């Protein structure tokens, strides 16, 4: 029951984007389409789960004073693994996400979970926590990407359903803030009803 909660809380109740508002840089930068949001979310999820596992495994062997540098090195290694793998096998997605993949290293969500959860909990709980947080993040990016793609390009997952352009502002940076604000507002209403 308790373990289920570790997984579950990241999805909605403590959703990284809608509730904690963490990791805004990739959130606003990469969600120009649903596919990009999904790709970025899954890449981050992988890094989050792997770094949570490793950090919780080594948490008792790392002296407190050097824990942050150690965590960063661990996270950076996994990010580089994702970067190389994506470049090799998904070159088109890599081109779209480009700069934002190396930036997963400094995503405060990843270091935040390593520091706040994985460094104090068991491997199994940390795995579930990483998976839940990552999937919550992915879900949020996918929703944001969908809204922006539908309104901005008149398409969803690359399938066009209007002629010509959509409301271009939603593909550009200001649209990211607008769409995110409305999604957070809707999520807040929804969460309060449940409480």
Partner 1 sequence: MAKKESTLLSMFLALFLVTLISAIILGFVYEFTKDAIAASRAAKQTEALKKVLPPFNNNPVQEMYKKAVDGDTLYFFPAREDSVLVGIAVNTFSPKGFSGMIRIMVGFLPDGTIKDVAVLEHKETPGLGEKMVRSKSNWSVQFQGKNPKTYRLAVKKDGGDVDAITASTISSRAFCDALERAYKNLTEGGAK
Residues engaged in binding partner 1 (CB under 8 A): 32, 58, 60-66, 69-70, 73-74, 76-77, 80-81, 84-85, 87-89, 91, 98, 152-153, 165, 168, 171-172
Say if residue 185 is exposed, middle or buried (CB neighbours under 10 Å; 0-12, 13-18, 19+). exposed
Q: Is 155 helix (H, G, I), strand (E, B) or coil?
A: strand
Q: Which own/partner pairs from 110-116 qualify as long-range (CB within 8 Å, at least 24 positions apart)?
A: 110/23, 110/44, 110/47, 110/48, 110/51, 110/75, 111/68, 111/71, 111/72, 111/75, 112/22, 113/48, 113/51, 113/52, 114/51, 114/52, 114/55, 114/71, 114/74, 114/75, 115/67, 115/68, 115/71
Least distance CB 88 / partner 1 (angstroms) = 4
- Which CB sits closer to partner 1, 65 or 192? 65
Please, what is the minimum distance in Å from the beta carbon of residue 89 to partner 1? 6
Closer residue to partner 1 in complex, CB, 22/147: 147
Q: Of 14 and 96, which CB lies nearer to partner 1 in the complex structure?
A: 96
What distance in Å separates the CA atoms of residue 138 and residue 45, rounded to the nearest whole number?
Answer: 7
Classify residue 179 by its DSSP letter. Answer: H
Q: How far is the CB of 173 from partner 1 (least distance, A)?
A: 9
CB 153, min distance to partner 1, A: 6
Shortest Cβ distance from residue 32 to partner 1 (Å)? 5
Beta strand extents in the chain (DSSP E only): 155-156, 159-160
Q: Which is nearer to partner 1, 16 or 54 (CB)?
A: 54
Q: Which is nearer to partner 1, 3 or 85 (CB)?
A: 85
């Amino acid at each position: 029951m308790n373990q289920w909660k570790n997984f579950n809380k990241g999805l909605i109740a403590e959703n990284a984007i809608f509730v904690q508002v963490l990791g805004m840089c990739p959130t606003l930068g990469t969600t120009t389409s649903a596919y990009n949001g999904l790709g970025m979310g899954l890449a981050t999820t992988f890094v989050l789960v792997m770094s949570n596992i490793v950090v919780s495994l080594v948490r008792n062997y790392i002296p407190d004073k050097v824990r942050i540098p150690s965590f960063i090195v661990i996270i950076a290694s996994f990010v580089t693994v994702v970067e190389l793998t994506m470049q090799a096998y998904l070159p088109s997605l890599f081109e779209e996400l480009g700069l934002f993949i190396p930036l997963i290293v400094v995503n405060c969500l990843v270091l935040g979970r390593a520091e706040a959860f994985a460094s104090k909990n068991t491997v199994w709980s940390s795995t579930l926590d990483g998976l839940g947080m990552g999937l919550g993040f992915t879900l949020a990016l996918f929703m944001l990407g969908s809204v922006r793609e539908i309104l901005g390009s008149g398409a969803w997952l690359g399938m066009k359903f209007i002629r010509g352009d959509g409301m271009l502002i939603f593909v550009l940076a200001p649209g990211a803030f607008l769409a995110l604000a409305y999604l957070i507002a809707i999520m807040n209403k929804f969460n309060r009803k449940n409480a």
